[in-house]
Structure 1
Amino acid sequence: MASEAVPATESPRVPQQARSRATRRALLAAAGERFAAQGFHGTALTDLLGDGVPTKGALYFHFASKHAVAEALVEAMSESWDQVPPAVRRASADGLEALVLLTDAVITRLDDPITRGAGRLLRDRVVASPTLAEVSAWWRDEARELLAEAETEGLLRPEADPAWVADEIVAGFAGRATVSGADGDALWELMNEFWAGFLPLVATADWSRRWAARPWRERCRPVGVGPHDIDDLEIHPVGD
């Protein structure tokens, strides 16, 4: 008996909106790489056509000017950050663990082409807002909140002021980022050494003992914390 013919089915079609979003994100990633390397004034809008951008028409469909690309890069960086702190809190057992995981996310974001390009634009003052100081304050303010929570939870030493601790962490990170050349692997190790020496100075002895007993140096890096792949956002808790 002949088997019944299986009706042919059309291959799934990617919705137009999804295709458009993917193209726009590819444009931003290409622009981020170019701006990070060459600066805004050293990059022509047509320079992006050789970086995986499908057509000149697609480029001009999404962006009317080079400055519009710059504004979109900074906007994408800003919007993606808003999703990171809540994900960090969900993965953390307490405010101090969240502080470490938040810093991990900042390190990983430096590898994102959109973040790198937006950072160069902020340093060169290409867009009016936000400023580099304002962007730095997002992380500092979030760190202060996490440390204030840790203080409420009884995890900080009495002399450890949350605002001072947060400022020292941000400053310490900035210095290590400069020394490492913002290389993700090198910066990760430098911050691990920082945590090893700094956390016992500000955390209670009981918390520090419990932290030292956990495999915190082998923790997984976050995924999808940058604007280029924010749809895959995943923050891993420190293992026990």
Structure 2
Amino acid sequence: MSRQQERARRTRSVIIRAAAVEFAKRGYGAASINSILEHSNATKGAMYFHFASKDELARAVLEEGLEHYRAIVARWVDAPELDPFERLHGMIADLGEALHNDDVIAAEFRLVTEPEFADEALLRGSYIWGRGGYRLAVEAQERGLFRPDVDIRRFVEAVGSSLAGQRYLADLTSPDTDVKSKFEACLEVPLEAMASEEWLAGWRERGWPQRSD
């Protein structure tokens, strides 16, 4: 990659990050292009070189958000030293932290609640984590970690619905809200009802594994 191409790539990335901060804070309609330019130190010409419109810039933020979701899910789906429920917990805890600390994921969530992007909501972050969560639920069922006759689709839907509700509440409440602990509860409550007694007994004794970042 030439020096000019690398500079253009960095400029594009900085603009996307600045736009994510603006969209997460103000939403799509109220977001200011001038504010994005100010915080990215980019010229208007540079921005329109990379993005033909505000809509195109927002969609670039959405795509960047998907990459962040994919990285979180990939980290946990294939962690062989942990059982499927422990991996699902790690994934959900990371998602909670990211919603609070990752401007791109926060912007992705805010944008898919906007009318301009509502039709795409089911194809975004919730879809990425939902596929990973279902894969882990299938593995847990195969390993006998659920109670007999549990419908794992209902389990994944229950967790997903709870997470969606907590995401909306997090957007409405104080920025100091502990989103991670609330996301953990979205998993723990369904597990109390659907996981096997043997797995629950072990979990109550040992708790969740300590995470290494």
* TM-score when normalising by structure 2: 0.81
Following superposition, the deviation at residue 103 of structure 1 comes to: 1.0
- Structure 1: state its 5+ residue gaps: 1-13, 221-235
Amino acid at match of 2:133: A
Amino acid at match of 1:117: A
Q: Superposed, which structure 2 residues align to 1:53-72 within 5 Å?
A: 53-72=41-60
Runs of 4+ in 1 over 6 A off after TM superposition: none
Q: Superposed, which structure 2 residues align to 1:101-140 within 5 Å?
A: 101-110=90-99, 111-127=101-117, 131-135=120-124, 136-140=126-130
Q: 1:152 to 1:173 in 2, by over 3 A?
A: same
Following superposition, the deviation at residue 195 of structure 1 comes to: 4.2
- Structure 2: state its 5+ residue gaps: none
Query: How many residue pairs get matched?
Result: 207
Match of 2:165 among 158, 162, 175: 175
Partner SS state of residue 13, structure 2: helix
Aligned partners of 2:148 and 2:32: how far apart in 1?
Answer: 55
Following superposition, the deviation at residue 157 of structure 1 comes to: 0.7
Partner SS state of residue 82, structure 1: helix
- Contact preservation (8 Å) 1:23, 1:53: no
CA RMSD of aligned residues (A): 2.8
Q: 1:34 to 1:138 in 2, by over 3 A?
A: same
1:22-74 CA-partner distances (Å, limit 9, x unpaired): 33222112111212232323234233121132433432332222122112111
Aligned partners of 1:123 and 1:180: how far apart in 2?
Answer: 13
Partner SS state of residue 11, structure 2: helix
Report the more deviating stretch, 178-187 or 18-27. 178-187
Aligned to 1:3: none
Aligned to 2:69: 81
The structure carrying a bigger helix percent of its residues is 2
Aligned partners of 1:17 and 1:121: how far apart in 2?
Answer: 29
Which is higher, the Rg of structure 1 or of structure 2? Answer: 1
